């Protein structure tokens, strides 16, 4: 009962927070692997190295746990995307090389990493069942990302580096081209190496610049067909 005066408000346990994280990680894994209905609490408990009761203590409910998982996932994923977006080449010296590097970062850090894969999978699997959960993702995720990316392209166009008439369309197409080669491989769960990602980015940017590049910015790259 006596409240000591030094460090009075320290949380009851330290392991508490660590276990919460560990539970969330394991739950993310299992929910994504097995789907909501296929996942069971014992699996999650075993994978988290925690007793089943502890999970109920922390999250109260299978559904609440699922919601917590999706929230954490979307927040992390959005943060990662915007962090990568901040590395967009606003004043490119070599636009092709810098766009390729940017595309590689985008693929590596946002789309091919586990958060991206997990989020896509949960979205496809349970999106219909929890529309309100994923509507938030959609607004804060793709909505803002496309807008932000479109603004970057518009600025590049204004600076004379690109010839873009509809930046929104260009942004969506850029994302689509980035993923063109990788999507099917990822769905099947293949692990794709760095060079594969780089190749995909190079192809995407090359086509993107053939479509939207300024004639003056292109010509150093040979474009003859053999």
Residue numbers at the binding site for DNA (CB under 7 A): 1-4, 7-8, 10, 12-16, 19, 39-42, 49-54, 56-58, 60-63
Nearer to its own copies, 17 or 124 (CB): 124
Binding partner at 187 among its own copies, DNA, none, C-beta below 5 to 8 Å by kind = its own copies
For the CB of residue 25, give the shortest distance to its own copies in the complex, in Å: 18
Q: Which is nearer to its own copies, 140 or 181 (CB)?
A: 181
The site partner of 87 among its own copies, DNA, none (C-beta below 5 to 8 Å per kind) is: none
Residue 158 binding partner per list its own copies, DNA, none, with a CB distance cut-off of 5 to 8 Å that depends on partner kind? none
Q: How far apart are CA 139 and CA 77, in angstroms?
A: 13
Identify any residues that bridge with 162 across adjacent strands, giving them in sequence order.
213
Q: Is 200 exposed, middle or buried (0-12, 13-18, 19+ CB in 10 A)?
A: buried
Site for its own copies contains 164 (CB under 8 A): yes
Q: How far apart are CA 106 and CA 98, in angstroms?
A: 12
Region 126-145 residues binding its own copies, contact defined as CB under 8 A? 127-128, 131, 134-135, 138, 142
**Kind plus residue range of the DSSP H or E element containing 78:** helix 62-85
- Whole-number Å distance between alpha carbons of 209 and 89: 14
Q: What span, in angstroms and rounded, lies between the C-alpha atoms of 17 and 14?
A: 6
Among the listed ranges 4-12, 27-35, 52-60, 105-113, the one in contact with its own copies (CB under 8 A) is 27-35
Instruction: Check the CA dihedral 54-60-63-64 and report its sign.
Output: negative
Q: What is the DSSP string of 149-178?
A: HHHHHHHHHHTTSB--S-HHHHHHHHHHHH
Residue 35 binding target from its own copies, DNA, none, CB below 5 to 8 Å by type: its own copies
- Closer residue to its own copies (CB): 57 or 173: 173
Reduce the DSSP state of residue 148 to 3 states and report it: helix
Neighbours of 29 (CB within 10 A): 18
Q: Which residues in this chain contact its own copies in the complex, by CB under 8 A?
A: 33-38, 120-121, 123-125, 127-128, 131, 134-135, 138, 142, 157, 163-166, 169-170, 172-173, 175-177, 179-181, 183-184, 187-189, 203-204, 207-208, 210-212, 223, 225-226
């Amino acid at each position: 009962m006596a409240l000591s005066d030094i460090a009075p408000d320290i949380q009851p346990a330290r392991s508490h927070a660590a276990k919460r994280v560990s539970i969330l990680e394991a739950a993310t894994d299992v929910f994504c692997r097995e789907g909501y209905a296929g996942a069971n609490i014992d699996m999650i408990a075993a994978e988290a190295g925690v007793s089943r009761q502890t999970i109920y203590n922390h999250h109260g409910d299978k559904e609440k746990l699922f919601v917590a998982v999706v929230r954490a996932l979307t927040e992390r994923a959005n943060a990662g995307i915007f962090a990568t977006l901040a590395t967009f080449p606003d004043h490119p010296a070599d636009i092709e090389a810098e766009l390729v590097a940017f595309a590689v970062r985008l693929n590596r850090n946002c789309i091919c990493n586990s958060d991206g894969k997990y989020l896509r999978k949960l979205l496809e699997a349970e999106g219909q069942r929890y529309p309100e959960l994923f509507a938030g993702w959609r607004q804060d995720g793709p909505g803002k990302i496309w807008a932000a990316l479109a603004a970057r392209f518009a600025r590049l166009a204004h600076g004379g580096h690109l010839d873009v008439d509809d930046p929104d369309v260009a942004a969506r197409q850029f994302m689509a081209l980035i993923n063109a080669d990788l999507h099917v491989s990822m769905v099947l769960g293949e692990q794709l190496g760095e060079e594969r990602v780089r190749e995909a980015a190079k192809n995407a940017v090359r086509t993107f610049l053939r479509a939207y590049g300024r004639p003056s910015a292109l010509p150093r790259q040979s474009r003859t067909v053999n």
